[in-house]
Amino acid sequence: VEFSYCDLTSMKSIWQFVQRFRAKNCPLHVLVNNAGVMLVPERKTEDGFEEHFGLNYLGHFLLTNLLLDILKQSGTHSDNARIITVSSATHYVGKLQLNDLQSRCSYSPHGAYAQSKLALVLFTYQLQHLLTANGSHVTANVVDPGVVNTDLYKHVFWVVKVVKWMTAWLLFKTPEEGASTTVYAAVSPEMEGAGGCYLYNEQRTKSADIAYDEELQRRLWTESCKMVGITDKSIRVP
């Protein structure tokens, strides 16, 4: 195990991390996009992005795109490289405000969090479409870990914290249990060559209807490229 620092709220830090990783000349077989914040008060990243959208979504969007060529080189016909992105059941109630992705007009911690998790599902489906169109030996899937007992809940109301403290042993998954579907997506032979799936409890499940809107997927992808300052390669894909 080797640690390498990467702050997903900082585009500069992400670029620096990728440079360090490239210098190692290592293959990359599995990328798990797992970092996130939930229900934080309104604040911005150092690049001026609303924190939920900037960290939960844009940070992973940029990191994945910068590592995509290495993933493509590492995957083979019989052993695809895999990208696993962790979303949440909250995406089912999320609404993507393409004209206000930064929640500047009206900020709601719940709305901003749900939007970032919906964006991750849309991103995964569009990414898989592009990978398939390019004939790449890389798959992209999205995971719902369930309700897990972690520090993610530190910004909820104190009443919710009390209820969580009283019921976590019964209703919440342990971190190990919460990670099981991510591990399944990363290493299971059953998932070899399978991409564009939404997984919950190690089963393929239907995501929100809006997540299958291909036009919305493309529009979010194009806008995300503009926001993080990379070339939108999808426009050259038939």
| Catalytic positions, written as ranges | 113
Alpha-carbon distance values, 49 to 9, 10, 42, 112 (Å): 8, 10, 11, 12
Residue 141 phi, psi (nearest 5) = -135, 160
Q: Which helix (H) or strand (E) holds 107?
A: none
Nearest to 141 by CA among 124, 116, 166, 159: 124
First-residue to last-residue Cα distance in the chain: 40
CA 15 – CA 161 distance, rounded (Å):
36
CA 158 – CA 164 distance, rounded (Å):
10
Backbone φ/ψ region at 43: left (φ over 0), alpha (ψ -120 to 50), beta: beta
